[in-house]
Amino acid sequence: MKVAFVTTECVPYAKTGGLADVAGSLPAELVKLGCEVKIFLPKYSLIDENRHGLKHNWDISEMPIRINGVIRSVHVYQSKLPNTDINVYFVDCPHYFYRHIIYTNDPDEDERFILFSKAVIETLQRLQWAPDVINCNDWQTGLLPLFIKDNYSWDRLFDNTATLFTIHNIGYQGLFSKSVLFSAEIREGLFYPGGPIEQDGAVSFMKAGISFADIINTVSNTYAHEILTPEYGAGLEATLVQREADLFGILNGVDYNIWNPETDKHLPYHYTINDFSGKYLNKKYLLNHFGIKPDENIPLIGIVSRMVVQKGFDIFADAINEMMSLDAQWIILGSGEDRFEELFRKLSNLLPGKVGTYIGYNNELSHLIEAGADMFLMPSRYEPCGLNQIYSLKYGTAPIVRKTGGLADTVKDWDEQNHFGFKDGNGFSFYDYSGFALYKSVERAVNVFKHKDIWKKIQTNGMKLDFSWTRSAEKYLELYKLAVENRQRL
State yes or no: residue 388 binds ligand ADP (CB under 6 A): yes
- Beta-carbon neighbour count of residue 5 at 10 Å? 27
Please, what is the minimum distance in Å from the beta carbon of residue 168 to ligand ADP? 7
- Does the protein bind ligand ADP through residue 304 (CB under 6 A)? yes
Cβ 366 to ligand ADP shortest distance, Å: 4
In the list 17, 233, 235, 294, the residue contacting ligand ADP (rule: CB under 6 A) is 17
Let me know: does 378 contact 388? Beta carbons within 8 Å: yes
7: contact with ligand ADP by CB under 6 A:
no
Continuous H helices in 359-427: 363-372, 388-394, 405-410, 414-419
Give, as ranges, the residues between 234 and 273 that touch ligand ADP (CB under 6 A). none
CB 138 within 8 A of CB 164: no
Binder among 95, 270, 289, 306 for ligand ADP (CB under 6 A): 306
* 366 binds ligand ADP per the rule CB under 6 A: yes
Closest CA relative to residue 473, chosen from 30, 162, 49, 45? 30
Query: Which residue of 27, 131, 302, 334 would you call a contact of ligand ADP, by CB under 6 A?
Result: 334
Residue 17 or 82 having the CB closest to ligand ADP: 17
What whole-number distance in Å separates Cα of residue 8 and Cα of residue 27?
Answer: 15
Least Cα distance to 246 among 208, 218, 226, 204 occurs for 218
**Which of 340, 327, 353, 317 lies closest to 434, judged by CA?**
317
Nearer to ligand ADP, 239 or 388 (CB): 388
Applying CB under 6 A, what is the total number of residues that bind ligand ADP? 16
From residue 399, give the alpha-carbon distance in Å to each of 88, 312, 389, 428: 36, 14, 6, 6
Q: Pick the piece of the chain touching ligand ADP (CB under 6 A) from 28-36, 62-70, 303-311, 445-453.
A: 303-311
Q: Select 16 or 242, whichever has its Cβ closest to ligand ADP.
A: 16
Closer to ligand ADP by CB, 87 or 335: give it.
335
When binding is defined by CB under 6 A, the residue of 151, 362, 417, 468 that contacts ligand ADP is 362
d(CA 291, CA 250): 42
Note whether 227 binds ligand ADP by CB under 6 A. Answer: no
Q: Which helix (H) or strand (E) holds 336?
A: strand 329-336
- Of 193 and 360, nearer to ligand ADP (C-beta) is 360
Nearest-angstrom CA–CA distance, 169 and 249:
12
Return residues touching ligand ADP (CB under 6 A). Answer: 17-18, 304-306, 333-335, 361-363, 366, 385-388
